[in-house]
A and B are shown apart, each in its own frame.
Chain A
């Protein structure tokens, strides 16, 4: 930015500063701008009148306006809220940029309104924008003009207008024709894949549903994500009159102007202009597009599918360079990972780098040798594996070898991949039965849930199960199959814990099923009169460790008080307001007692994964307890102030999923990559066993791991870099397997290409993990600033690529692929783990959220960061018809205050809970029908949160 003239610099501040600095202000998410109201349409009518003189321009305006500099001035006039033209906004605008670009070459900028001057490219560019400059109120025209003022004209010009029937040739195709910007061409050649939807509005009629009026399309913009035209992005809100030509910009980047326009009453931006991920996560198509044999992006996502070829390029790409791996991601029906059994042959691997055979290896020498794609070593093909090559150099038996055609395969591992016989799935429960656990109803819900899941535990009939309960003493249960009732043994010596019975504490579920069920049935009643408030957590943990260390498995801990007895007892160090903002702030978020880290390390060593369920309404030091889950590949579930009437469903759902989802046991994971690239750091819930070997006592589909890589050499000479993730694990069925995901990415020399192929989801996932890690050793403020700084730097770097050629003025420009990055950046800063300070989130909730986010796969992470908001009252009022109608009626709304109408009911779903929001003016009938009580009294009792504009009913269930 620095290079630009002062004028611009000023404008810039707006863009860069606002989005990021604003986190607290909420801007993007809940834009406070009143103007727009819930419906955009509302304000339009008013604007229309103002337009009369403007109209001539206006018609072109919508389209052209945004792009051309001249146009910008108009913006001020726009409806007051007129923040920069919405990027997402009106479809009409979208086309504009392209327009402008084309038109610009023509000298005729001054040409009048409406006249369609056709640039060589034959687009009807309305040069008219330019004229618009003088106009005071043109902005409105953007919206209205086309339809209301001179409909016919708009139609004619329609290429821009959303009305879309007339199809414009896609900008990309036309573009080459312009002689004007040779320089650009190269970059533009491949427009980012995502844009297509965008174009719809402007150019491509086909995909877009025909919208009669520009308005409507406009509104639609909200509902449909795509409206944000990637290419079109240029809305000139900025006052700076960039004199430069905008041509060619369309495919290169989107832009957004955030500064207030001169003459307008209030500065800021149009909330509608902001791109919002209302379609959820969109996976970049370039990953699989260029290399069809890559594994699916649900397993492996790179922050950019274009690997930089030099150190200098890496340093200019300001975002993290890395990958997010979810090795066991859930597969849709019919796309299961094929299992390959080499039987006696042994798994085919490279001799030197130990890479597994994959679709990218090449066979030579008539099929007798194969070249490793990662280290380029020529390996001999074993006799059993030999096959002739056909004329194209491919093996003739290719179709019988999924490992040579698919990016994801599972090999059945022979005995040399085992250090011991495969372990059975093992679930061990460590349950707090002190008074708070009993009173909250946790014990009952938990016992019922476990009982209902017994049939579905994976790995039957080998599954093993066991229980310990504890308060100030530790209770063991003998579940031997010959008994009818479990025998309870109490150990009260907390300083020197011993296991009273070496066997029979862990029993085979199918053999001891009646005993286990009898235990679960009697568990709530056994302790219902317990008044013990102490918790011998540490000693119980040691006991559990002694029981489990033979086999490993999964340890589920249900804890509802602060550990108060024996080793590992924790202090009420609490959430001290005075500590916030000082250098000691982070110590609240790290474990207090080294006991927990040591235990976690020991658990990992013996293949035990720990999942923590915490229920207390008071401080329980999740920061310390969560450490157990963090280093053992587990997970933390936190139910603040658990009460069975409210949180029952959520606990049931989460516990059932935890128990029944497919789980991989005693696993290790390694990611290999080609020469010149090296993985340097790993982020997630696991422990490193050696520099690049991740130890995972238990893995499942809800866990993902992030890693960053760096270039080892200053210059990469290869054209392609390969990545191979290998997860060696014991399946629940008792088979040892290796799941291998292979992917290729091309090496590029151009920074623009890196941005074009960036993957917002992976970047966000990695950034949030880095931020959370940072919050463990620095202040929250620092962690948030680091995220913002990274994004600002990246956008600044991106701007440098184009500002010189295009004089983009006061607008913020960003690559299509990263258009949601600023928004997600804000979401990260506002996430429970990182937001605000002392008052904004309880320490326990903050820590629990941090542990959760460190483990989430990309899609769930994005949903947590930007939850979906649906308005459901219209759907509820209508008679229920077909099932699929729900999707049609209820579209995701932007998370802005203006999307909330006080007459509606809304559902907010972040993947972990659902918040139902009842508007203040909601018809009483509807409310009564829903809650079966008079709304006023009911809400008064049940509401857990209150907002200024409505009431929120609390957590309903886990989705």
Chain B
């Protein structure tokens, strides 16, 4: 029972992170097509970056606490990457250079998105699996 609940929790946290990353990608796309000026776009993106990192951290800690080792190992690379960016102070988008960083930043977020979505499917699978097992008992 607890297992199912924790998987459910992971699932929603992952959904939250995916939403944040997609939001950033949308901001970049808007910027590229000139629907948004660099100032707005940079401040919107920068506003959600720290929440994203924190949520990611919370997810890892929860995995660890609930003893889901496999899940923890899968999500820890992303956390380390985030921490590295943060330590180098490269995590925020730079308004002045945003157009030069556009390609790299988009690619980086697409990779992240891919990673998150694969985690999401794994979570979904285990959640359903656990739910079915609970049922049988």
**Chain A residues engaging chain B, CB cutoff 8 angstroms:** 594, 597-598, 600-601, 605, 627, 631, 681, 687-691
Distance in Å from the Cβ of B92 to the closest Cβ of chain A?
Answer: 8
Q: Which residue of B lies closest to A604 (CB)?
A: B96
Per-residue 0/1 for B75-106: is the Cβ within 8 Å of any A Cβ (1 yes, 0 no)?
00000000000000100101110111000000
Determine which of B39, B95, B99 lies in contact with A597 in the assembled complex, contact meaning CB atoms within 8 Å: B95
**Chain B residues engaging chain A, CB cutoff 8 angstroms:** 31-32, 34, 37-39, 89, 92, 94-96, 98-100
Report yes or no: B99 in contact with A631, Cβ–Cβ below 8 A: no
Distance in Å from the Cβ of B81 to the closest Cβ of chain A?
Answer: 18
Given A594-B89, A601-B39, A605-B39, also A690-B34 (CB < 8 A): yes
Determine which of B37, B89, B95 lies in contact with A598 in the assembled complex, contact meaning CB atoms within 8 Å: B95
Determine which of A597, A681, A689, A690 lies in contact with B94 in the assembled complex, contact meaning CB atoms within 8 Å: A597
The CA-CA distance from A600 to B95 in the complex, in Å, is 9
Interface centre among B32, B37, B99 (most CB of A within 10 A): B99
> Contacts of A687 on B, CB cut-off 8 Å?
38, 96
Q: Which residue of B lies closest to A601 (CB)?
A: B95
The CA-CA distance from A102 to B32 in the complex, in Å, is 58
Report yes or no: B96 in contact with A600, Cβ–Cβ below 8 A: yes
> Contacts of A601 on B, CB cut-off 8 Å?
38-39, 95-96
> Contacts of A598 on B, CB cut-off 8 Å?
95
Total A-B Cβ pairs within 8 A: 30
The CA-CA distance from A605 to B95 in the complex, in Å, is 11
Q: Which residue of A lies closest to B33 (CB)?
A: A691
Report yes or no: B95 in contact with A688, Cβ–Cβ below 8 A: no
> Contacts of B34 on A, CB cut-off 8 Å?
690-691
17 more contacts with CB within 8 A, not counting A597-B94, A689-B38, are A594-B94, A597-B95, A598-B95, A601-B38, A601-B39, A601-B96, A605-B39, A627-B96, A681-B100, A687-B38, A688-B38, A688-B98, A688-B99, A690-B34, A690-B37, A691-B32, A691-B34
Q: Which residue of A lies closest to B42 (CB)?
A: A601
> Contacts of A594 on B, CB cut-off 8 Å?
89, 92, 94
Q: Which residue of B lies closest to A602 (CB)?
A: B39
Q: Which residue of B lies closest to A693 (CB)?
A: B34
The CA-CA distance from A155 to B18 in the complex, in Å, is 85
Q: Which residue of A lies closest to B39 (CB)?
A: A605
- Between A and B, 11 residue pairs with Cβ closer than 8 Å are A594-B89, A594-B92, A597-B94, A601-B96, A681-B100, A687-B38, A687-B96, A690-B31, A690-B34, A690-B37, A691-B99
Report yes or no: A597 in contact with B96, Cβ–Cβ below 8 A: yes
The CA-CA distance from A627 to B97 in the complex, in Å, is 12
The CA-CA distance from A598 to B37 in the complex, in Å, is 15
> Contacts of A600 on B, CB cut-off 8 Å?
96
Distance in Å from the Cβ of B11 to the closest Cβ of chain A?
Answer: 36
The CA-CA distance from A687 to B38 in the complex, in Å, is 10
Determine which of B32, B37, B89 lies in contact with A689 in the assembled complex, contact meaning CB atoms within 8 Å: B37
> Contacts of B37 on A, CB cut-off 8 Å?
689-690
The CA-CA distance from A597 to B38 in the complex, in Å, is 13
The CA-CA distance from A688 to B42 in the complex, in Å, is 13
Distance in Å from the Cβ of B56 to the closest Cβ of chain A?
Answer: 23
Distance in Å from the Cβ of A371 to the closest Cβ of chain B?
Answer: 26
> Contacts of B96 on A, CB cut-off 8 Å?
597, 600-601, 627, 631, 687
The CA-CA distance from A689 to B39 in the complex, in Å, is 9
Distance in Å from the Cβ of A684 to the closest Cβ of chain B?
Answer: 13
> Contacts of A681 on B, CB cut-off 8 Å?
100
The CA-CA distance from A681 to B89 in the complex, in Å, is 25
Distance in Å from the Cβ of B132 to the closest Cβ of chain A?
Answer: 50
> Contacts of A597 on B, CB cut-off 8 Å?
94-96
Distance in Å from the Cβ of A682 to the closest Cβ of chain B?
Answer: 8
> Contacts of A689 on B, CB cut-off 8 Å?
37-38
The CA-CA distance from A687 to B94 in the complex, in Å, is 12
Q: Which are the 10 A-B pairs with shortest beta-carbon distances?
A: A601-B95, A690-B34, A688-B99, A631-B96, A597-B96, A601-B96, A687-B96, A600-B96, A605-B39, A691-B99
The CA-CA distance from A47 to B99 in the complex, in Å, is 62
Q: Which residue of B lies closest to A686 (CB)?
A: B96
The CA-CA distance from A598 to B38 in the complex, in Å, is 12
Distance in Å from the Cβ of B102 to the closest Cβ of chain A?
Answer: 8
The CA-CA distance from A773 to B129 in the complex, in Å, is 54
Interface centre among B31, B32, B38 (most CB of A within 10 A): B38
The CA-CA distance from A401 to B96 in the complex, in Å, is 40
The CA-CA distance from A691 to B99 in the complex, in Å, is 7
Distance in Å from the Cβ of B117 to the closest Cβ of chain A?
Answer: 28
Interface centre among B39, B95, B96, B98 (most CB of A within 10 A): B96
Distance in Å from the Cβ of B94 to the closest Cβ of chain A?
Answer: 6
The CA-CA distance from A627 to B96 in the complex, in Å, is 10
Q: Which residue of A lies closest to B98 (CB)?
A: A688
The CA-CA distance from A374 to B94 in the complex, in Å, is 34
> Contacts of A627 on B, CB cut-off 8 Å?
96
Distance in Å from the Cβ of B20 to the closest Cβ of chain A?
Answer: 22
> Contacts of B38 on A, CB cut-off 8 Å?
601, 687-690
The CA-CA distance from A68 to B25 in the complex, in Å, is 63
> Contacts of B99 on A, CB cut-off 8 Å?
688, 691
The CA-CA distance from A689 to B31 in the complex, in Å, is 10
Distance in Å from the Cβ of A894 to the closest Cβ of chain B?
Answer: 39
The CA-CA distance from A529 to B8 in the complex, in Å, is 72
Q: Which residue of A lies closest to B34 (CB)?
A: A690
Distance in Å from the Cβ of A395 to the closest Cβ of chain B?
Answer: 35
Distance in Å from the Cβ of A333 to the closest Cβ of chain B?
Answer: 39
Distance in Å from the Cβ of B87 to the closest Cβ of chain A?
Answer: 14
The CA-CA distance from A594 to B32 in the complex, in Å, is 24
The CA-CA distance from A546 to B89 in the complex, in Å, is 28
The CA-CA distance from A691 to B34 in the complex, in Å, is 7
> Contacts of A605 on B, CB cut-off 8 Å?
39
> Contacts of B98 on A, CB cut-off 8 Å?
688
Distance in Å from the Cβ of B88 to the closest Cβ of chain A?
Answer: 10
> Contacts of B95 on A, CB cut-off 8 Å?
597-598, 601
The CA-CA distance from A605 to B37 in the complex, in Å, is 10
Distance in Å from the Cβ of A419 to the closest Cβ of chain B?
Answer: 13
Q: Which residue of A lies closest to B94 (CB)?
A: A597
> Contacts of B89 on A, CB cut-off 8 Å?
594
The CA-CA distance from A238 to B1 in the complex, in Å, is 85
> Contacts of B100 on A, CB cut-off 8 Å?
681
The CA-CA distance from A631 to B100 in the complex, in Å, is 13
> Contacts of A688 on B, CB cut-off 8 Å?
38, 98-99
Distance in Å from the Cβ of B111 to the closest Cβ of chain A?
Answer: 21
The CA-CA distance from A17 to B38 in the complex, in Å, is 44
Interface centre among A598, A627, A688 (most CB of B within 10 A): A688
> Contacts of B94 on A, CB cut-off 8 Å?
594, 597
The CA-CA distance from A627 to B99 in the complex, in Å, is 17
Distance in Å from the Cβ of A604 to the closest Cβ of chain B?
Answer: 8
